[in-house]
Amino acid sequence: MDVDFYVHETAIVEDDVSIGAGTNVWHHCHVRSGARIGADVSLGKGVFVDLGVTIGDRVRAQNHVYLPQGLEVHDDVFLGPKATFTNDVYPRAVGDWEVTPTVVAQGASVGANATVVAGRDLGAYCVVGAGSVVTRPVQPFELVAGNPARRLGWVDRAGRVVIRGDVPAPTSGDVAEWATDHG
| Spatial separation of the C-alpha atoms in residues 170 and 179, rounded to whole Å | 8
pTM of the predicted structure, to 2 decimals:
0.92
The residue ranges of the chain whose pLDDT is under 50 are 1, 182-183
Burial 152-175 (b: 16+ CB within 10 A, else e): bbbbbeeeeebbeeeeeebeeeeb
- Sheet of 66-67: strand order equals 12-13, 30-31, 48-49, 66-67, 84-85, 115-116, 133-134
Half-sphere exposure of 134 (CA within 13 A, CB side): 34
pLDDT at 26: 98
3-state secondary structure of 37: strand
> In this predicted model, what pLDDT tens digit does every residue of 34-86 receive, in sequence order?
999 999 999 999 999 999 999 999 999 999 999 999 999 999 999 999 999 99
Phi, psi at 159, each rounded to 5°: 90, 5
d(CA 17, CA 68): 15
Residue pair 20/2 in contact by the 8 Å Cβ criterion? no
CATH 2.160.10.10 for domain 6-86+93-182:
yes
Q: What span, in angstroms and rounded, lies between the C-alpha atoms of 31 and 14?
A: 6
Q: Residue 177 has what pLDDT?
A: 64
Q: Where are the domains of the chain?
A: 6-86+93-182
Contact call for residues 164 and 182 (beta carbons, < 8 A): no
